[in-house]
Amino acid sequence: MNLVLVDDIIARYRWEKAAIIAILQDIQREFNYLPQEALTYAASRLAIPLTQVYSLATFYRAFSLKPRGKHLITVCLGTACHVRGAVRILEKLERELGIKAGETTDDMRVSLETVNCLGACALGPIVVIDGQYHGQMTSVKTDSILKKLRKL
């Protein structure tokens, strides 16, 4: 693990303890998850208890302590999306990718996650792929998106 990258990230925030969430976001952006070694190192360098860093890393759903795939697919299972068929979309993605929600493909290309609400209820069912929202999802749209994703 290149801890120099972690030092560079912390330095961007002038070693401010109050910037820990932004620092964790940048560490995750760099490594595609929050490696234990990076968290331990950041806690030490900022003189923050490791338990506090882990509390933040596990509290916020946006953070992952497990390696994620190159591409992240998030399916909203909130009430509005659920009644519009989000579970069927999720099941289709699980079948097509060969993984369950919360898992990553063996080749580390795709991670599949669910959330309780994305706040875009009028667009439901909604799927977010690498930060891009895809609303009113159907099986046909799912096939099209997976086809594009496979080319990336």
Measured from the Cβ of residue 71, the count of other Cβ atoms closer than 10 Å reads 17
Spell out a b/e string for 16-41, using b for 16 or more CB atoms within 10 Å of the CB, else e. eeebbeebbbbbbebbbbbbeebbeb
8 A C-beta contact, residue 118 and residue 128: yes
Same domain, 36 and 86: no
pTM score, whole prediction: 0.82
Q: Provide the number of structural domains found in the chain.
A: 2
Q: φ and ψ at 73, to 5 degrees?
A: -110, 125
DSSP state of 104: B
In the numeric block, which tokens belong to residue 77?
């299972």
Domain CATH for 88: 3.40.30.10
Asked if residue 47 belongs to a domain, the reply is: yes
**Could you give the CA distance from residue 20 to residue 14 in angstroms, rounded to a whole number?**
11
Q: Mark whether 91 and 139 lie in a shared domain.
A: yes
Taking only the tens of pLDDT, the chain with its 152 residues reads 789 999 999 999 999 999 999 999 999 999 999 999 999 999 999 999 999 999 999 999 889 999 999 999 999 999 999 999 999 999 999 999 999 999 999 999 999 999 999 999 999 999 999 999 999 999 899 999 899 888 87
